[in-house]
């Protein structure tokens, strides 16, 4: 009975679309107007992304260039989606990343900054970039700690073809809420310090995920990256 089967599949997908739409409404109802919700769709299928779009989401985050490329193809007609790259960059994907994403949140070392600077000239593309920083020692995470960032600052600022707009941070796992809040504040203070030293374009703070975005907002996040709370 193929028809009954089709109906069943469409009921399941209606149900999961409704869930996605409800979750988004729940998150956005308390969201200050200064904070952009990036729906992290790295584990979401096309119909879930369409549901999120229908709920008003225009910013989607992906952590693999190849997966994102495929989704972008399938969603071509939704041409006002803003795509955010949040994964770790691989050098053979850097050119695709700069061409296919409006934002790259996860620029995590000087070599990348310099390569993206060259690629910006070559491709004529200059997405919004965030520098990934570590506010606590974490061997599992990429990014600059504050000391390393200060060391690289001059070299970064020499890359004049880039549009570096802020900082991004991911916290170590296993923190309690107060510890999380303190580290988000530390990231906000670092951005403030860099602005006060003349880097006035550093306005964005990409921080906070499903488990801790409320703390990140309290500390001054301008972009939150929420995946499982929307799509799981
Ligand atoms: C997966 C991912 C997220 C989303 O995490 P959730 O806990 O599912 O909300 C946010 N940021 C980065 C960098 C990610 O890789």
Q: Residues 73-113: pLDDT tens digits?
A: 999 999 999 999 999 999 899 999 999 999 999 999 999 99
Of all protein residues, whose CA lies closest to atom 10 belonging to ligand 1? 225
The CA distance from 217 to 31, in Å, is: 8
Cβ atoms within 10 Å, residue 112 = 21
How far away, in angstroms, is 227 Cα from ligand 1 center?
A: 6
The structure tokens 């620029």 sit at 107
Q: Which fold has domain 2-231?
A: TIM Barrel (3.20.20)
Q: Is 40 in the pocket of ligand 1 (CB under 6 A)?
A: yes
Task: Enter the pTM of the model.
Answer: 0.94
pLDDT band of residue 1 (cuts 50, 70, 90) is very low
Tell me the β-bridge partners of 130.
166
* Alpha helix (H) residue ranges in the chain: 2-28, 46-54, 65-74, 94-100, 110-123, 146-157, 177-196, 213-219, 228-231
Query: How far is CA 117 from its chain centroid?
Result: 20
Average pLDDT score over residue span 191-199: 97
Q: Name the pairing type of β-strands 163-169 and 128-133.
A: parallel
**Half-sphere exposure (CA, 13 Å, Cβ side) for 12?**
5
Q: Which atom of ligand 1 lies nearest, measured to the CA of 168? A: 13
Query: Per residue in 43-75, is it b (16+ CB within 10 Å) or e — as a string?
Result: ebeeebbbbbbebebebbbbbebeebbebbeeb
User: Taking the domains of the chain in order of start, what are their residue ranges?
Assistant: 2-231
The secondary structure element, H or E, covering residue 169 is strand 163-169
The CA distance from 122 to 57, in Å, is: 31
pLDDT at 13: 74
Look at residue 40 and tell me whether its pLDDT is greater than 50: yes
């Amino acid at each position: 009975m193929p028809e009954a089967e089709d109906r069943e599949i469409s009921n399941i997908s209606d149900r999961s679309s409704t869930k996605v739409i409800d979750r988004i409404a729940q998150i956005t109802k308390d969201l200050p107007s200064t904070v952009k919700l990036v729906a992290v769709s790295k584990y979401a299928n096309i119909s879930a992304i369409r549901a999120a779009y229908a709920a008003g989401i225009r910013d989607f985050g992906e952590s693999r260039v190849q997966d994102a490329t495929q989704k972008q193809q399938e969603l071509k007609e939704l041409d006002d989606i803003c795509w955010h790259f949040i994964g770790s960059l691989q050098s053979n994907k850097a050119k695709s990343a700069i061409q296919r994403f409006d934002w790259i949140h996860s620029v995590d070392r000087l070599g990348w900054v310099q390569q993206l600077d060259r690629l910006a000239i070559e491709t004529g593309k200059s997405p919004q970039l965030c520098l990934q920083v570590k506010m606590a020692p974490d061997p599992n995470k990429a990014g600059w700690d504050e000391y390393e960032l200060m060391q690289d600052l001059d070299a970064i600022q020499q890359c004049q073809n880039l549009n570096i707009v802020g900082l991004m941070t991911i916290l170590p796992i296993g923190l309690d809420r107060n510890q999380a809040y303190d580290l988000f504040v530390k990231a906000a203070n670092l951005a403030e310090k860099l602005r006060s030293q003349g880097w006035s374009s550093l306005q964005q703070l990409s921080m906070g995920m499903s488990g801790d975005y409320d703390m990140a907002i309290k500390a001054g996040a301008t972009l939150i990256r929420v995946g499982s709370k929307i799509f799981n």
